[in-house]
Chains A and B, each alone.
Chain A
Amino acid sequence: MRLRAVALGIAASVSMSFSALAGELTFWHAYSGQQDKVDFINYALEEFGKAHPDIKLNVVAAEQSSYKTKLNTAMASGNPPDVFYTLPGGFLGAFVAGNQMYSLDDALAKDGWGESFLSSALAQTTMGGHTYAVPIDIDSSVFWYNKKLFAEKGWTAPATYDQLLELCEKIKADGLVPFALGNKDSWPATFWFQYLEMRLKGSGIVSGFVAGNADATLGSEGTEAFKRIADLSAKGYFPVGFNGMSDQEANMLFLNGQAAMMLNGTWQIGASADASDDFELGFFPFPTVAEGKGDQSDILGGVAAAFGIAEKTTNKEDAVTLLRFLTSPAVMTKYVELRKTMVTVKGATTEAAAGPVLYGISNDLMGKAANLDPFYDTAMPPKGTDTYYTSLQGVLDGSVAPADAAKRLEEALKAK
């Protein structure tokens, strides 16, 4: 008997030394590669260390694209980190389908933690009625324009799609590029398709497919949206060779006044920091489309990143403590201040922290939008994303017909 107890004791201590010790967590994140991200995570982890000296974090950081390779390999090899950064939507969905994610329902129900988030944001990390990650920040896509250039040329921000097209002709006549676009990585052009689909047909299309609604369809509007994009490209409103330019190269065209406008996410604020001193960033919502059936005030915006806990984690209590700390109003307000990005925690995107441009978008555009439609490419299952990306690149360079692109995308969205 005693021998057995000793054996059990040894076994227990051995297994202890292999799994994470109480008070110890592995934490993987992608706040790397650009200064604002690094500044935020350094701040947050330092504060966490002060507030919870008893919890030791083993932190692993990698830049977004490397991070995905690392995390996917860790997941596939059955060795997920305890707490980690993830994308919402289809990316998270794959892990949920594999029962790798710890449901945060109980934790969120306690002390009003769940209520502190915008419900539209929580919805993007909730699957089958359970929440598997806490959303952190919200990116929204709007039109950005060069205020000084517009003032010099006497151009005004267009309110309707037809006005936008007229403006493009003027800009082109002046020898400038109407829209900066660097579509090498395929996501930049998705804003165009999605906004047109939202204006023409309405919000929630891809979410409908993801939820498995039988009547979900892109409709004839899908073809129409692709057709309009092909048309913009054929008219030369995008830069030469945009499918091979990176987002950052396109941004240089915009900041240097070679391109007048850019449809891009709110990270544009941070990306404009190194423009010349007289550059002033302006924004306007995607114009209304006259015959469109969607609510014309809708905004394309969704959760950019979230944090989740692995089901395998032995130390869930400390893991929840870490997430609660990271999503506390004080840390989230600091996030807004350092990154100039909206957050998912109510009231944290303050005017003082956000600055005028971001606060304007958050308050004037998003506050008044009838719907926020999350990014199609992250919302859809990862399998569909490649079809979406390549079809769009093909439509833009004329190698794929709009109707074929719509058909391909619809099939990809319907495939389980």
Chain B
Amino acid sequence: MHLNSRWSITRIGVLAFLSVHVLVVIFPFVWMAYSTLKTNKEFMRSVWSLPATPSLDAFVQAWNTGALGTYSLNSLIVMLGSTVLAVVVATAGGYALAVYRPRWLAGIEIGLMIAMAIPAYVALVPLVVMLRAMNLLDTHLGVVLPTAAFNVPVTLFIMRAFFVTLPRDIIEAARIDGCSEFAIFWRIAVPIARPAMFTAAIVNMIWVWNDFLFPLVFINSPAKKTLPVGLADFVGEHITNYPVMLAAIFLAAIAPLVLFVFFERQITTALTGGAVKE
């Protein structure tokens, strides 16, 4: 970039606009951060003021009340488990939908489209019956399987959207070279599809990380709770200790944010398939 473009009017204008916008997006979290240093009494009296005498008591209480470390670990297990499962399954499925074209595929496509739109609440009761029969209630696998299953249709359509852009000549050429269909998928399609798979994985991870309903209903043991369910325990029916609740949220958010800071380069690189330039 040459000098006059570094401080061009456009750039300053855009920076100003984005700064204001991001401030609005981020302000609640700044407020959350400094509110954790107050007592509940102080918070109740003036919600927005800075803490008069900052104290870490809320963090201590948050840490002692909920097993936040355990919850985070559980969330991580469920998140990775269902993300990997959903992405692997959906990559194969998306490939089939994009590359092959028997007539019955249209039926599957419609079926998956309906499946994509199913509200989880409708399936809740039969899922509990099923998971109990499979002895999977109150296990992480019992959360992973239905979560992945519910995310597969959308993930699959993301993957299909990628695979339809795959030039068919490549596939035909490989077939003529005598490659098996699996080899074409595994050696040609999957390596090219890595950025799309990574995109699908990011989307899945974010969904699962915030998912509340399935872990709430399928998990009973306190030691197996995931983070969103554990955090819900900080909100009382009539009385909430706000600084403690906010401290718990804050602690819960630190790990993923730090990870993102460290791996931002790798994440965006993976999303673009390594073609980063600036």
Classify A-B as touching or not with yes or no (CB < 8 A): yes
A63 x B124 contact (CB < 8 A): no
B238 x A34 contact (CB < 8 A): yes
Q: Does B32 make an interface contact (CB < 8 A)? A: no
Chain B residues 181 to 239 lying within 8 A of chain A, measured CB to CB, are 213, 216-217, 220-222, 229, 232-239
Chain A residues 249 to 281 lying within 8 A of chain B, measured CB to CB, are 252, 255-256, 265, 267, 270-271, 273-276
A237 to B137, CA, bound (A): 50
**B44: contacting residue among A38, A58, A275, CB under 8 A:** A275
Q: Does A73 make an interface contact (CB < 8 A)? A: yes
A32 to B213, CA, bound (A): 18
B216 x A62 contact (CB < 8 A): yes
Q: Does A53 make an interface contact (CB < 8 A)? A: no
B236 x A33 contact (CB < 8 A): yes
- The interface stretch among A64-72, A326-334, A352-360 is A64-72
A256 x B45 contact (CB < 8 A): yes
Chain B residues 22 to 61 lying within 8 A of chain A, measured CB to CB, are 40-41, 44-45, 47
Chain B: interface secondary structure?
Answer: helix
A248 x B128 contact (CB < 8 A): no
Q: Does B74 make an interface contact (CB < 8 A)? A: no
The proximity string for A residues 18-39 relative to B, scoring 1 for CB distances below 8 Å and 0 otherwise, is 0000000000001011111110
B217 x A69 contact (CB < 8 A): yes
A33 x B128 contact (CB < 8 A): no
Residues of chain B contacted by A37 (CB below 8 angstroms): 236-237
Q: Which of A77, A248, A252, A275 has the most chain B CB within a 10 Å cutoff?
A: A77
Q: Does B240 make an interface contact (CB < 8 A)? A: yes
How many residues on B have C-beta within 8 angstroms of the other chain's C-beta atoms?
30
Given the interface pairs A73-B217, A256-B45, the reply to whether A35 lies near B239 with Cβ below 8 Å is yes
Determine the residue in chain A with the shortest Cβ distance to B39: A274
Q: Size class of A's contact patch?
A: 35 or more
Residues of chain A contacted by B232 (CB below 8 angstroms): 33, 62-63, 66
Nearest Cβ distance between residue B139 and chain A, in whole angstroms? 15
Chain A residues 74 to 132 lying within 8 A of chain B, measured CB to CB, are 74, 76-79
Chain A residues 310 to 328 lying within 8 A of chain B, measured CB to CB, are none
Determine the residue in chain A with the shortest Cβ distance to B43: A274
Q: Does B129 make an interface contact (CB < 8 A)? A: yes
A64 to B239, CA, bound (A): 12
Q: Does B269 make an interface contact (CB < 8 A)? A: no
A252 x B44 contact (CB < 8 A): yes
Q: Does A60 make an interface contact (CB < 8 A)? A: yes
The proximity string for B residues 129-158 relative to A, scoring 1 for CB distances below 8 Å and 0 otherwise, is 100100001000000000000000000000
Determine the residue in chain A with the shortest Cβ distance to B130: A77
**A33: contacting residue among B44, B137, B216, B234, CB under 8 A:** B234
Determine the residue in chain B with the shortest Cβ distance to A276: B45
B238 x A267 contact (CB < 8 A): yes
Nearest Cβ distance between residue B49 and chain A, in whole angstroms? 13
Given the interface pairs A62-B233, A252-B44, the reply to whether A271 lies near B128 with Cβ below 8 Å is no
A25 to B150, CA, bound (A): 33
A5 to B239, CA, bound (A): 58
Nearest Cβ distance between residue B131 and chain A, in whole angstroms? 9
Q: Does A372 make an interface contact (CB < 8 A)? A: no
Q: Does A167 make an interface contact (CB < 8 A)? A: no
A33 to B216, CA, bound (A): 14
Q: Does A61 make an interface contact (CB < 8 A)? A: yes
A70 x B238 contact (CB < 8 A): no
A37 to B238, CA, bound (A): 11
A74 to B138, CA, bound (A): 12
B216 x A66 contact (CB < 8 A): yes
Chain B residues 113 to 136 lying within 8 A of chain A, measured CB to CB, are 124-126, 128-129, 132
Residues of chain B contacted by A63 (CB below 8 angstroms): 232-233, 235-237
Q: Which of B41, B229, B238 has the most chain A CB within a 10 Å cutoff?
A: B238
Q: Does A197 make an interface contact (CB < 8 A)? A: no
Chain B residues 155 to 177 lying within 8 A of chain A, measured CB to CB, are none
**B239: contacting residue among A30, A60, A256, A270, CB under 8 A:** A270
Determine the residue in chain B with the shortest Cβ distance to A77: B128
A77 x B125 contact (CB < 8 A): yes
A160 to B117, CA, bound (A): 56
Q: Does A337 make an interface contact (CB < 8 A)? A: no
A50 to B51, CA, bound (A): 43
Chain A residues with a Cβ under 8 A of chain B: 30, 32-38, 58, 60-66, 69-70, 73-74, 76-79, 247-248, 252, 255-256, 265, 267, 270-271, 273-276
Chain B residues with a Cβ under 8 A of chain A: 40-41, 44-45, 47, 65, 124-126, 128-129, 132, 137, 213, 216-217, 220-222, 229, 232-241
A-B contact pairs, 7 of them (CB 8 A): A33-B235, A34-B240, A66-B232, A69-B213, A73-B128, A256-B44, A267-B237
A-B pairs, 9 with minimum CB distance: A34-B236, A77-B128, A33-B236, A267-B238, A64-B237, A34-B239, A76-B125, A60-B220, A274-B41
